[in-house]
Chain A
Amino acid sequence: MVLSQRIHDAFKGAVERITGPRTVSAFKEKGVLTPDEFLLAGDNLVAKCPTWSWEAGDPSKRKPYFPADKQYLITRNVPCLRRAGSIEEEYEAAGGEVLLDTADDEDEGWLATHGAPSDTKKEPEELPSMDTEEKEEKRHINIIPSYAAGDDDDAPDMADFEDADNVMRNDDATLETACLFAIEPDDANILRTRTYDVSITYDKYYQTPRVWLTGYDESRMLLSPELVLEDVSQDHARKTVTIEDHPHMAGKHASVHPCRHGAVMKKIIDVLMSRGVDPEVDKYFHLLLHLMSLS
């Protein structure tokens, strides 16, 4: 971590310790959330998208302003079907930052249900995406050497036992694992499928949700956070996506930095209100994830 980021983190930590969480809604004015609004939006996400769940997380990292069993939100095992390097235009058109399994039929979610044109995705000029914001902010991240998935050949050999009477190493009803890897989508751009756990925490300092990505390789071995950046748009890989400690889980994880979330959400809220749509705070996450092509 570079010095400027560490100083900022120390400052942010100190502010978070001495100030209480926001209690008055400023959703429409500033695009930010109170903890209660975060809970409301989280409950809505879990109810509408059952692949998301609330998590309790590590008891020692619990935030007192949330119930013990509703500390953050997570959805696991989301396939990443494309690598960012190969298809620049598409994600720009989608206004998305991270190329995970972009939703298909049902992800129109909130815009559609509120009478907005269902092809909003094709009108990026109307909805500001994260990348129209803040080109000048250069956040640097420190590169940690790759870790995690060891070459399996460095694992030790096990003692050789005659298979006991009642045990078999493998039987003929076991499907060959080669079959598992034989199923690759036809798209030439698709490498083997990495997967992601996507989580949403509440950032008390920025008063917004914060989205985190934990990556796994095609064998579901941990991916070092730098490799996660491969799946993120190059524009964002070193700026709005940073690698930091997760507030509830162990280790470093890639995160979409929340410093612009409030401003971006405010712009979207203004667009919606100008169309006569009254934005509801409990749909916040649908919109946020939609923006990131994560829903």
Chain B
Amino acid sequence: VKEKTSTSSKLMFAPWQSAVDEGFWHQLASFKLETQRLAEHPVPVSGFFAPCSHPQVPSHLQLMEESLPTDPGGHSSESFAVQGNRNKCPVPGTLYNSNTLEGFTGLDTPSLLKITTQQIWEDIQSGRAEETSNLLNRFLLISFADLKKWSFYYWFAFPAVVITPPVTSSSCRPVSEAFDEKESTAIREACSEWRGTPATASSCFFLLHFTSGAVIARPIKDWKLAQEEGGKVIAAFYDPCNISTNPGWPLRNLLALAAARWEVKDLRVLCYREKRGFIDPQLSLIVDVQLPELPEWKAPGFLPKGVGWELNTRGKARPRSVHLAASMDPERMANEAA
């Protein structure tokens, strides 16, 4: 946890954390009973998140009632339309809901993570991730709904492309230290414009393009264009992390994209974090990143390694559980109401 020296050190990323609303479990129970029944095929789901907005707590990837498709025929499409907003940026995910506890515990978790990592890699290679940047935040959820006891067992993964040798950073400091007041103000205005425009507000990755005297926020697909136009370009992402010394997890796949598609060696990154709906220049970080040479990434058919199963509340790589009999069991609720 050094910073501001000219030497580089390995960059470490704070893992993303999940949160599930009660409404999601209610929805999953009826989805299982009415739509999915005994089928076990993967189901597209949507998670939601916002940039970190308080120095005390990170922002979580949250599943809500509307995370599951309500249309019974909807399971065949790869994703479904969800309503997002600036505080609820949609992230595509895949749910594997098992019929039995044995089926759940027997899931081949390494293979599932590999499949999602491969999807992310393909989206990077094809340029799709630059068009729809939220694809870089894909997640995975495995679950078993014990509807006799109203217990749910589940495990999230936030697959990240592993870069070896590791990414290093020569500097990691608050925006307020990295820029003078004039630049900070221009950055604030550009970010507010991005966050205030409904079409871009929920796009979690963007660029800040410094041209003569102005800063504009642009979609990440404009990287090459902005380079040609001249001026400085920094990559930015909505950072769920609240830690003042490290960037959050979503930066990992953005760096993979920068290495694979933009072929850059050095990249300056803004970890965008908010206070009361505007950029927090003390909490938001500017990280100067050095990417390694990755010749093997150009080989046809190459697939990078993935990482990202969430640890449970005790720091172990195991599933979590939630018990909702008190609010879901009709018999118990009838007794309590009597």
A1-B106 Cα distance, complex, nearest whole Å: 42
Chain B residues near A166: list those with CB within 8 A. Answer: 114, 117, 303-306
Interface assignment of B129: CB less than 8 Å from any CB of chain A: no
The answer on a CB contact under 8 Å between A79 and B54 is yes
Contact A150 B337 (CB under 8 A): no
Contacts between chains A and B (CB distance < 8 A), count: 215
Task: Give the CA-CA distance A65 to B172 in the complex, in Å.
Answer: 50
Contact with A along B307-323 (1 / 0, CB 8 A): 10101111111111111
The size of the chain B interface, using a CB distance under 8 A, is 87
Chain A residues, CB < 8 A from B53: 51, 77
- Given the known interface contacts A147-B326, A185-B56, the answer about A250 and B315 at a Cβ–Cβ threshold of 8 Å is no
Check if A174 sits within 8 Å of B12, measured CB to CB.
yes
Contact A148 B17 (CB under 8 A): no
Q: Are B307 and A78 in contact (CB under 8 A)?
A: no
Of the listed stretches B81-89, B205-213, B226-234, name the one at the interface; the rest are far from the partner chain. Answer: B81-89
Q: Which of A226-244 contact B (CB under 8 A)?
A: none
Let me know if B185 is at the binding interface, CB within 8 A.
no
Assess the A195–B57 pair: CB atoms within 8 A: yes
Cβ contacts under 8 Å, B50 to chain A: 76-77
A177 with B311: in contact, given A69-B83, A144-B326 (CB under 8 Å)?
yes
A164 with B13: in contact, given A77-B57, A144-B326, A173-B252 (CB under 8 Å)?
Answer: no
Mostly helix, strand, loop or mixed at chain B's interface?
Answer: mixed
- Closest partner residue, chain A, to B10 (CB atom): A173
Is there an interface contact between A152 and B318, defined as CB atoms closer than 8 Å? yes
* B19 on interface, CB distance cutoff 8 Å: yes
Contacts of A154 in B (CB 8 A): 321
Within 8 Å CB of B163, what residues of A? 173
Contacts of B327 in A (CB 8 A): 144, 147, 250-252
Flag whether B125 is at the interface (Cβ < 8 A): no
**Closest A residue by C-beta to B111:** A164
Distance of B13 from chain A, by nearest CB (Å): 6
Residues of A153-188 at the interface with B, using a CB-CB cut-off of 8 Å, are 153-159, 161-175, 177-180, 183, 185
CB neighbours (8 Å) of B153 from chain A are 155-156
Return chain A residues, CB-CB under 8 Å to B274. Answer: 51
B314, A250: Cβ atoms closer than 8 Å: no
**B319 and A156 form a contact (CB under 8 A):** yes
Give every chain B residue within 8 A of A150 (Cβ-Cβ): 151, 320-323
Q: Is A25 engaged at the interface, CB distance under 8 Å to the other chain?
A: no
A225's closest neighbor in chain B, by CB? B327
Q: Which of A53, A167, A250 contacts B87 (CB 8 A)?
A: A53
Q: How far is the CB of B72 from chain A (nearest CB, A)?
A: 15
Q: Are B162 and A171 in contact (CB under 8 A)?
A: yes
**Residue contact B23 to A250, C-beta cutoff 8 Å:** yes
Is A275's beta carbon under 8 Å from chain B?
no
Pair B277/A50 contact, Cβ less than 8 Å: yes
Tell me the bound Cα distance from A249 to B155 in angstroms. Answer: 23
Q: Cβ of A175 and Cβ of B87 under 8 Å apart?
A: no
| B112: nearest chain-A partner, CB-CB | A167
Any A CB within 8 A of the CB of B123 = no
Whether B108 is near chain A, meaning CB under 8 Å from some CB there, is yes
A152 touches B22 (CB 8 A): no
Kindly state whether residue A44 has any CB partner on chain B within 8 Å. Answer: no
Closest Cβ of chain A to B199, distance in Å, is: 16
Contact yes or no, B13 A224, CB < 8 A: no
Contact partners of A165 in chain B: CB under 8 A = 305
Residue of A nearest to B318 (CB): A155
CA distance A180 to B54 in the complex (A): 14
13 contacts between A and B (CB under 8 A): A77-B50, A101-B56, A142-B336, A152-B312, A161-B108, A163-B110, A167-B110, A168-B306, A172-B166, A174-B15, A180-B58, A193-B57, A219-B313
